Amino acid sequence: RKPVSLPRLGEMRARGEKIAMLTAYDATFAALADGAGVDCILIGDSLGMVCQGRHSTVGVTLEAMRYHTECVAHGVRRVQGTAWVVSDLPFGSYQESREQALRSAAVLMEAGAHMVKLEGGGWTTDTVRFLVERGIPVCAHLGLTPQTVHALGGYRVQGRGDEAATRMRADAHALADAGAALLVLEMVPAQLAAALTAELPHCATIGIGAGRGTAGQVLVMHDMLGMNLGRMARFVRNFMQDADGVSAAMAAYVRAVKDGSFPDDALHAW
Ligand code: KIV
Ligand code: NA
């Protein structure tokens, strides 16, 4: 397998090959994901829940993200090292200014990330452009943005209704124009996510709870392995159910994303 790079992600998007993304927070799971054919490994700030036992991602620090990014990067390098490594800019590390965002992004890139992800709509486009122009690939994130859960009023579907959809469409186009190469759409109606995917040929949408019409999919690894402390979200599938181990479950996830059998709109979307 050739290493996944920014041009290769663009080729996959153009070809219609689905991009399989999975979170990982440590070296062993990252190496297993890489070996299972996962295209993109995300060090998500969901580590606040998964590793730290928090109720939200709001308390995750840049230092925590740096540490876990380093662990994952070491793990990927221990094996084939083909996966594209994306790391979340945590709450408070990029909101202040584009300069602050660049300093924070540099910490994650130095720890081994290939790309950083940040949450938010139009107000982030200036920052996205600033980072991209300086050689830092950026993944944007719209829909349910967990860092702003308190402003959103809970973990619920976003972009429902004409007004909300229009706003999300404007945000998505602005972020793509600013140079975001990937765009996570979290808990977005399937129809809207599919429409945005078709409208943005140079930015690959990665869905989570956003139906099957996106250019790729992402899940929190612990969720798809059936390991969850709380209630399992409806958009998750437990890939351990029919697998005889973690690697097999990850490989089944990659297969299901690539052949379009995950997600199932009837079960995993709105
Ligand atoms: O933190 C995370 O794991 C994420 C994904 C769910 C997209 O942002
Ligand atoms: Na995140």
Can you tell me which atom of ligand 1 is nearest the CA of 46?
1
Where does the pLDDT of residue 45 fall: very low under 50, low under 70, confident under 90, or very high at 90 and above? very high
Q: How far is the CA of 42 from the centre of ligand 2 (A)?
A: 9
Q: Choose one of 19, 21, 22, 23 to mutate for the ligand 1 pocket test, by most ligand atoms within 8 angstroms of C-beta.
A: 23
Across the range 245-250, mean pLDDT stands at: 98
Positions marked catalytic: 186
Pocket probe for ligand 1: among 41, 43, 46, the residue whose CB has the most ligand atoms within 8 Å is: 46
**What digits encode the pLDDT tens for the residues 180-225?**
999 999 999 999 999 999 999 999 999 999 999 999 999 999 999 9
- Let me know if 263 is exposed, middle or buried by CB neighbors in 10 A (0-12, 13-18, 19+): buried
Q: Which residues line ligand 1 (CB under 6 A)?
A: 23, 42, 44-46, 88, 184, 186, 208, 218, 220
pLDDT for residue 9 is more than 80 = yes
Q: State which ligand 1 atom lies nearest to the alpha carbon of 45.
A: 1
User: Is residue 80 predicted with pLDDT exceeding 80?
Assistant: no
Residues with CB under 5 A from ligand 2 (ion): 44-45, 88
Q: Are 203 and 27 in contact (CB under 8 A)?
A: no
Residue 170 has pLDDT above 90, yes or no: yes
Judged against a pLDDT cut of 90, whether residue 267 lies above it is answered with no
What is the predicted pLDDT for the residue at 270? Answer: 86
DSSP SS3 for 2: coil
- Least Cα distance to 2 among 84, 74, 73 occurs for 84
What's the CA-to-centroid distance between 173 and ligand 2, angstroms? 21
Separation CA 163–CA 204 (nearest Å): 24
- Percentage, residues of the chain above pLDDT 90: 93
